């Protein structure tokens, strides 16, 4: 439900002309631009003349002075408590991500009082006075606030006619077309005011049908704009979404972990609102298909065939202006399906909706082709990058690394990976992980050549610092990642990883691999994707590591395959059952012998690696990006099921891929996924997001190598802006009968 509900008071009703009712937020710093307008001083809302070099004030008035001039009041908590019958549920009219809204009678008028939840805002709430001068007929007016101890409340004008969502989706309501186009245009005017006429600009960050409130004349008023101004301006979607839960379908898919928000994020969300106005559909259906995904193909077909029957809300029948409808469709498509850098501005959207500018200014034929099924964002936007950041790794001497690790003391050892012993050290004040590589008998290893492909600086890759390439001593030095591996947190730790972090890890890893496969020139193939090589920082941001084994593993595959055939390795990988003649454990022993040059031991710990190896890799030893895709699919299965790549129960062991296949086939038929979802999640996951990840895992693991998806497609599906059906359709379920084709 909407967070702010309000009603126009007498003063707001007098503000009919947008030009006379918009005002920049006053600057509290030194005024240096002689053309800059002074803040409001007239009670009727008129502006002073532009300041000149002669009459410009040296400093703008303090926020408290400005607030006072507009009657912006600071209330006592007790007074607001009494006005709401001590915050009785009887007075509650809505609840949102920031708090509960109560209707009250205060100062001889109906008001909405928002009691904020305890959340950490970057600025003091008192500074919200600074926004009291925001004046626009399509923006909810702020009347006052309360700040006592831990209690924070906002007093807002009350809008009596509920939200746009109520009128669109309540079965007993019907919103006529003239009202829909009016709401679209005037809501866009409100957003334009926040984006371009407020100084500094205000980015809403939570545009949705719930936050577009309607008065008795169906004039829209945008709510919840103010608190967005006090959230961290870092673009951290995890922080924002933790407050704005349940609104992810409105969220800009390019609004990534490191990307700073902009007004283009609001444009995307407004485009989703336009889709609701056009189609009358809920945000997602019972199958989990979002309105954005559903409308993609419908819009393309409607525009191609000039037939809008299947797209337009059936309640409207033919009672709409076709030209206006087409203009709104183009605005929605340009806002939602174009990459952020080419989305229209709100000013352009208003122009197209009103018919004063052509839709071709914001969307062209090529864009329509994109709507009909091609990726919705550029690779650069999808990955949050502008250009490859390549650097030259530093060459260290053996002595430098020995000193950094206290001469390779066990006190500094982090782990023994059987292909490298990893030590924590410090170089030039930086914490590093120093990988001391084992030498393989009969193998020549040029570390300098090994590190050349991985000298990229990208947020989801474990940053390479340098290397040592001496005759008998080979090292690779990475940035130290403090929170151990995904494998540890999934399979070796009592505490589980919650769903939001699992999804975050999956998307980050997919972006890292997409960067290597699709952005780097030449392409970089990892060759060793496992949950053990996905490291996590303290915020559970994933960092892909372990490149060094991938660079040499393929050298052994021909010999591995020969030994595996003697032990019926391919058969076990096909049916997942282990016996004395088909033993995954024995394949692990072969890997150990070939890599270490030592006889296998009964305690050999590497059998889990077999579960990540693609069937074609075992057959011919040729490594390709599709091998990485397969291995990543196994990691997704681990995130979904909570089970390791090789499952052991007593004397019985089974490949995770083989274990999942029959249960997944049943789940796809019954739409009940409980048998494969990690019991530790205890239903604490978003089922739509879970199904998206399941489809991604299935497409990566069970489809033939040539038809496995690209990692950029996986990112799009996991982020929800591309249909799962684009990578896995119903007929693909046949691949589950026999499992991967070894």
| Alpha-carbon dihedral 620, 626, 629, 634, rounded to 10 degrees | -20
- Asked if 560 and 618 touch (Cβ cutoff 8 Å), the reply is yes
Phi, psi of 44 (to 5 degrees): -80, 0
Exactly one of 13, 150, 206, 678 is catalytic; name it: 206
Asked if omega into 584 is within 30° of 0 (cis), the reply is no
Q: E strands of 20-135, at which residues?
A: 73-74, 92-95, 99-106, 109-116
In the structure encoding, which two tokens stand for residue 206, read together? 């939570």
In the structure encoding, which two tokens stand for residue 176, read together? 């006529």
**Residues linked to residue 456 through DSSP beta bridges, in sequence order:** 390
30/562 Cα distance (integer angstroms): 77
- Asked if 353 and 181 touch (Cβ cutoff 8 Å), the reply is yes
Adjacency order of strands within the sheet including 92-95: 73-74, 142-148, 151-157, 109-116, 99-106, 92-95
Residue among 614, 618, 617 at smallest CA distance from 587? 618
**Residues linked to residue 390 through DSSP beta bridges, in sequence order:** 456
Residue among 426, 394, 398, 399 at smallest CA distance from 412? 426
709/724 Cα distance (integer angstroms): 11
Q: E strands of 348-463, at which residues?
A: 394-395, 413-416, 420-427, 430-437
Residue among 264, 267, 354, 279 at smallest CA distance from 310? 279
**Residues linked to residue 646 through DSSP beta bridges, in sequence order:** 655
Q: What is the 3-state secondary structure (H, E, C) of 452-470?
A: HHHCECCCCECCEEEEEEC
Q: E strands of 438-595, at which residues?
A: 464-469, 474-479, 534-536, 542-544
682/219 Cα distance (integer angstroms): 44
Please tell me the total number of residues recorded for the chain in this structure: 742
- Asked if 146 and 76 touch (Cβ cutoff 8 Å), the reply is yes
Q: Which residues contact 555 (CB under 8 A, 6 or more apart)?
A: 443
Please indicate whether residue 206 is annotated as part of the active site. yes
DSSP SS3 for 55: coil
* Cα within 13 Å of Cα(569), Cβ side: 25
- Axis crossing angle, helix 625-641 with helix 711-719, rounded to the nearest 10: 30
**DSSP H or E stretch at residue 326:** helix 322-337
**DSSP H or E stretch at residue 616:** helix 615-620
**DSSP H or E stretch at residue 591:** helix 584-596
DSSP SS3 for 252: coil
- Asked if 3 and 223 touch (Cβ cutoff 8 Å), the reply is yes
- Residue where the block lists tokens 């409105």: 250
579/703 Cα distance (integer angstroms): 27
Q: Which residues contact 741 (CB under 8 A, 6 or more apart)?
A: 615, 704
- The residues annotated as belonging to the active site are 206
């Amino acid at each position: 439900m909407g967070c702010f509900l309000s009603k126009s008071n007498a003063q707001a009703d007098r503000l009919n002309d947008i030009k006379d009712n918009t005002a920049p937020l006053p600057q509290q710093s030194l005024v240096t631009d002689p053309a800059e307008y002074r803040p409001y001083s007239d009670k009727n809302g008129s502006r002073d003349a532009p300041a000149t070099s002669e009459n410009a004030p040296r400093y703008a008035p303090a926020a408290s002075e400005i607030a006072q001039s507009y009657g912006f009041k600071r209330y006592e908590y007790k007074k607001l408590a009494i006005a709401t019958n001590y915050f009785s549920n009887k007075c509650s009219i809505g609840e949102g991500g920031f708090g509960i809204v109560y209707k009250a009678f205060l100062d001889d008028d109906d008001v909405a009082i928002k009691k904020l939840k305890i959340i950490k805002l970057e600025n003091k709430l008192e500074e919200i006075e600074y926004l009291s001068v925001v004046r626009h007929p399509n923006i909810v007016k702020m009347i006052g606030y309360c700040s006592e101890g831990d209690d924070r409340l906002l007093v807002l004008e009350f809008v009596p006619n509920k939200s746009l969502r109520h009128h669109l989706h309540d079965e007993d309501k019907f919103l006529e077309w003239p009202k829909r186009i009016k709401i679209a245009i005037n809501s866009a005017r409100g957003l334009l005011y926040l984006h371009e006429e407020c100084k500094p600009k205000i980015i809403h960050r939570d545009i949705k049908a719930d936050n577009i409130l309607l008065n008795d004349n169906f004039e829209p008023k945008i709510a919840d704009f103010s608190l967005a101004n006090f959230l961290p301006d870092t673009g951290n979607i995890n922080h924002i979404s933790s407050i704005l839960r349940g609104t992810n379908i409105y969220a800009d898919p390019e609004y990534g972990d490191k990307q700073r928000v902009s007004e283009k994020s609001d444009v995307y969300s407004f485009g989703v609102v336009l889709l609701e106005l056009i189609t009358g559909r809920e945000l997602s259906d019972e199958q989990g298909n979002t309105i954005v995904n559903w409308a993609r193909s419908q819009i393309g077909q409607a525009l191609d065939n000039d037939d809008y029957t299947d797209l337009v809300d059936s309640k409207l029948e033919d009672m709409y202006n076709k030209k206006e409808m087409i203009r709104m469709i183009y605005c929605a498509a340009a806002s939602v399906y174009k990459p952020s850098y080419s989305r229209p501005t709100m000013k352009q959207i208003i122009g197209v909706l009103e018919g004063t500018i052509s839709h071709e200014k914001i969307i062209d034929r090529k864009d329509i082709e994109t709507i009909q099924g091609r990726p919705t964002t550029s690779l650069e936007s999808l990955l949050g990058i502008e250009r490859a950041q390549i650097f030259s790794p530093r060459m260290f001497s053996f002595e430098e690394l020995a000193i950094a690790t206290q001469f390779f003391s066990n006190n500094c050892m982090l782990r023994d990976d059987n292909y490298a012993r990893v030590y924590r050290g410090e170089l030039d004040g930086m914490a590093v992980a120093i990988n001391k590589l084992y030498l393989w008998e009969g193998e020549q290893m040029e570390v300098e050549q090994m590190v050349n492909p991985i000298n990229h600086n990208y947020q989801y890759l474990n940053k390479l610092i340098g290397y040592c390439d001496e005759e008998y001593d080979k090292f690779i030095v990475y940035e130290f990642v403090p929170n151990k591996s995904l494998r540890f947190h999934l399979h070796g730790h009592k505490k589980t990883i919650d769903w939001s972090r699992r999804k975050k890890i999956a998307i980050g890893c997919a972006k890292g691999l997409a960067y290597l496969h699709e952005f780097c020139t030449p392409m970089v193939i990892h060759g060793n994707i496992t949950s053990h090589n996905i490291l996590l920082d303290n915020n559970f941001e994933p960092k892909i590591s372990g490149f060094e084994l991938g660079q040499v593993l393929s050298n052994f595959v021909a010999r591995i395959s020969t030994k595996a055939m003697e032990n019926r390795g391919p058969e076990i990988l096909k049916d997942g059952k282990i016996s004395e003649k088909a033993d995954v454990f024995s394949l692990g022993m072969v890997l150990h012998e070939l890599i270490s040059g030592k006889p296998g031991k009964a305690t050999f710990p590497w059998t889990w690696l077999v579960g990540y190896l693609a069937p074609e890799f075992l057959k011919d030893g040729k490594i390709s990006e599709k091998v990485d895709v397969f291995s990543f699919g196994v990691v997704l299965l681990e995130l979904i099921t909570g089970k390791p790549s090789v499952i052991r129960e007593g004397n019985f062991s089974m490949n995770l891929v083989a274990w999942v296949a029959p249960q997944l086939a049943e789940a796809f038929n019954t739409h009940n996924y409980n048998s494969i979802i990690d019991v530790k999640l205890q239903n604490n996951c978003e089922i739509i997001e879970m199904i998206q990840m399941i489809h991604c895992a299935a497409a990566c693991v069970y489809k033939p190598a040539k038809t496995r998806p690209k990692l950029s497609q996986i990112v799009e599906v996991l982020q929800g802006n591309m249909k799962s059906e684009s990578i896995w359709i119903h007929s693909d379920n046949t691949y589950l009968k026999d499992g991967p084709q070894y």
